[in-house]
Structure formats: C-alpha cells, structure tokens
Amino acid sequence: MGIALELKEWQKEYLSPFCLEECVDTCCCRKETNVLMTENQLRKAYGIKPGQNIAVNANYYHCGWKNQNTAVYWVSIHATKEHPHCPAYNPETKICLLENDKPEGCREFPLWIQTPLIYLSTKCDIIKTDNAIIRKLEEIAKSNSHSLKRISSPSQIKRLFSHTVMQV
C-alpha cells in the first residue's frame, strides 16, 4: 500500500475521530503558528471576496507561486483573547472552513515524514501519551521500516515545518 497511503488512512480512521471528539483545540488554537495557504484558502479563511484585493498585512503576505497560476501566502496566526484560533477554524463545530482543501501543513499535522523517520509533534495531545492511536501508528511505521521520533521544541518544529512547506 505504501506508507503515505497508510498514514492517510491512519489519519482518517484514527486521528480525525480523536480531533473531532476529544481534541482541546491544540493545533488550530496555538498561541502562534505559521502556515502556507493558496490564494483560495486565504480568501476563504479571512472572508476575502473574489476580485477583492488581498492587501498585505501583519497576518499574511504573498511569498511565491505553487505553480504559475496559484499564488501562495505565508500566514502568521497569532492567537489573541478575541480571536484564540486560526481564522478558518470553527470552535463550536471543531471543523475547519478549509476541511476539503486544507493547507498541506495542516493536513499533515502532527506528522512530518522524512524517510526513514516520522516526526511527531507533541503539541498534539494524542502524541503525548501511549495509546491505541499511537500504537497503530507505530505498527505502520515499523512495517514500512520507519521510526517515530517525538519533537517538542518550537525550533525543531519550525525547522521541520519550514522544510516541509518550502516544498509546496
């Protein structure tokens, strides 16, 4: 089946139900995080209408092109008391406005695959403890000759995330 497909199935079958039922909003409500978004994702997250100019501000700026037709924006999300989460996140439903078109970094969180390692961010509550979800992930990793490595320092996460998102 291949590790990428197995991990996608793991996220769908094991991680997503946890996120929807038990998560305490740790990934979408972090104090500060950065993510790359396409123009369409940015417009939807911030409610910018088609045809309306995307003005550079403290929250986002144009940083390149995914392909010749798709602009990419570096989005800095700073949680505040008034807005304690990503603008695309609905805390009541625990569903992202971009659910069907999530930014790559969001889609992959809390994993980063750099063969033969799978890095796990301990910013995600499910990663912090031994449980059935993690045991299944360990089984997938082992059957594909990969190892799991938990990371927690912001600099480690930022370095891995920056490496991942620059491959857009």
Whether the model clears a pTM of 0.75, i.e. scores above it, the answer is: no
Secondary structure class of 137 (helix, strand, coil) = helix
pLDDT in the model for residue 143: 93
pLDDT tens digit sequence for 26-63: 677 766 778 889 999 999 998 999 889 888 787 888 88
Inter-helix orientation angle 132-143/3-10, to 10°: 170
> What does R_g of the chain's alpha carbons equal in angstroms?
16
Residue 17 has pLDDT above 60, yes or no: yes
pLDDT tens digit sequence for 87-141: 888 878 878 889 889 888 888 888 888 888 888 888 788 888 888 989 999 999 9
Q: Alpha-carbon distance 9 to 29, whole Å?
A: 25
Distance of CA 116 to the CA centre of its chain: 21
Q: Alpha-carbon distance 46 to 66, whole Å?
A: 20
Write out the H or E segment, with its range, that includes residue 73.
Answer: strand 70-78
Secondary structure class of 92 (helix, strand, coil) = coil
Q: Alpha-carbon distance 126 to 64, whole Å?
A: 34
